[in-house]
Homo-oligomer: A and B are copies of this chain.
Amino acid sequence: MSAESEVMDLSCPLPADHYTRIVTGHGGGGRLMRDLIDQIIRPELRNPILDQQHDSAAIELSSKKLAFTTDSYVIWPLFFPGGDIGSLAVYGTVNDLSMAGASAKYLSLSFILQEGLEMQTLQRILHSIRRAAEQADVCIVTGDTKVIEGGANPGLYINTSGIGEITIDPPLSPFAISTGDAVLLNGDIGRHGTCIMALRENLQFSPEIESDCAPLHRQTEALLRSGCRIHCMRDLTRGGLTSAMVELAQCAQVGIDLQEEAIEVIPPVQSACDLFGLDPLSVANEGRFVAFVHPQDTARALSILEQESPGPVRKIGTVGEKKSHGQVRLLNSYGGQRILDLLSGEQLPRIC
């Protein structure tokens, strides 16, 4: 960009709500950016802490033990059956806090907007963010907006970081996984990844595949409140069930045996996987997690999860002996077994 065009950029006199698309000046720290924040962003997300209008939000917590997490969301397309980049950005980060046994309290929200993004698209995503934050009982307290060059299909990237309160002791951890633990799964797998893939390839399955994108805090909090001995939890995002299990097995240095028949895949997801040559066990989910539970608490934990989960809750496996190199085996009822390993690369770019 030449010096001349930059100087000309200073003279736009219109308030933000007169712009139908994002322009570079919306990230410039001047009146356009302030109008964008005051007229478009803040009214949707309004709360007393955000209204402090300071560089940082001042917040209070009831615990000094916190969980802290961050994720950037680059999913494309921005809208998909069952969700959009906004709800995903809220639920994804809240779920990471839930997996640590924490109650999500506060989120930050940072936008990287591409020049040319339709203002209506941003407003629709903001609305979705607000609804998701309400669903997840979390408060958005601080934010940031940047603008970058756009392309033919201008979109946006979102970062959310989250703070939650940890009230359990000892904390959940991959290192707490123990021989004999039951592995519970809260529903069928593979929906999110195949939903996005079908959308990109413009393929329709019957019934339509909806993303499983959802907040998990009610399920995890009910589990923890019950007093069941939960050792670790992990959500099944990029890399799916396989990545989560292999990483945990290696981290905890244990063997894990999974029962193939206990892992549910709905027919349209299986059809999509067959068509695309994917293993549903490695496809991303956004509302599924595994819990490692003391064997004596298995039945009670299953019954608690069933009350809170929309999907079928199952015990899908058992933690075996300590091993210096953790290993995950997939067993079937015919006596067959397969060693699960991480895929090298990825099946789908920009899946979350």
Contact = CB atoms under 8 A, between A and B. Distances in A.
Interface of A: 1, 3, 6-7, 9-13, 23-25, 27-34, 52-74, 95-97, 99-100, 102, 106, 108-112, 141-144, 146-149, 157, 159, 161-164, 166, 171-174, 197, 200-201, 234-235, 237-240, 243, 247, 251, 275-278, 282, 284, 341-350, 352
Contacts of A344: 10-13, 25, 30-32
A36 to B, nearest CB: 11
A71 B144 CA distance: 6
Contacts of A97: 55-56
A60 B65 contact: yes
A13 to B, nearest CB: 6
A159 to B, nearest CB: 4
Contacts of A141: 68
18 contacts: A24-B346, A28-B343, A30-B239, A30-B282, A55-B100, A55-B235, A56-B67, A56-B164, A58-B67, A59-B65, A60-B65, A68-B106, A68-B141, A72-B112, A72-B146, A72-B157, A73-B146, A159-B159
Contacts of A342: 30-31, 34
Contacts of A27: 238, 346, 349
A10 to B, nearest CB: 5
A118 to B, nearest CB: 19
Given A68-B142, A72-B159, A28 B239 contact: yes
Contact of A174 (B25, B54, B239): B54
A170 to B, nearest CB: 10
A223 to B, nearest CB: 16
A33 B349 CA distance: 12
The 4 closest A-B pairs by CB, nearest first: A28-B346, A29-B238, A25-B345, A29-B239
Contact of A56 (B55, B57, B102, B112): B102
Contacts of A65: 58-60
Contacts of A166: 58
B163 A9 contact: no
Contacts of A201: 3
Given A99-B56, A141-B68, A342-B34, A29 B243 contact: yes
A72 B110 contact: yes
A160 to B, nearest CB: 8
Contact of A69 (B108, B172, B348): B108
Given A69-B142, A163-B68, A174 B53 contact: yes
B12 A99 contact: no
B29 A346 contact: yes
Contact of A12 (B10, B102, B345): B345
B347 A58 contact: no
Contacts of A343: 10, 28, 30-31
A159 B64 contact: no
Contacts of A341: 31
Contact of A276 (B7, B12, B106, B174): B7
Given A68-B57, A109-B70, A173-B54, A350 B96 contact: no
Query: A62, A147, A159 — which one has the most chain B CB atoms within 10 A of its CB?
Result: A159
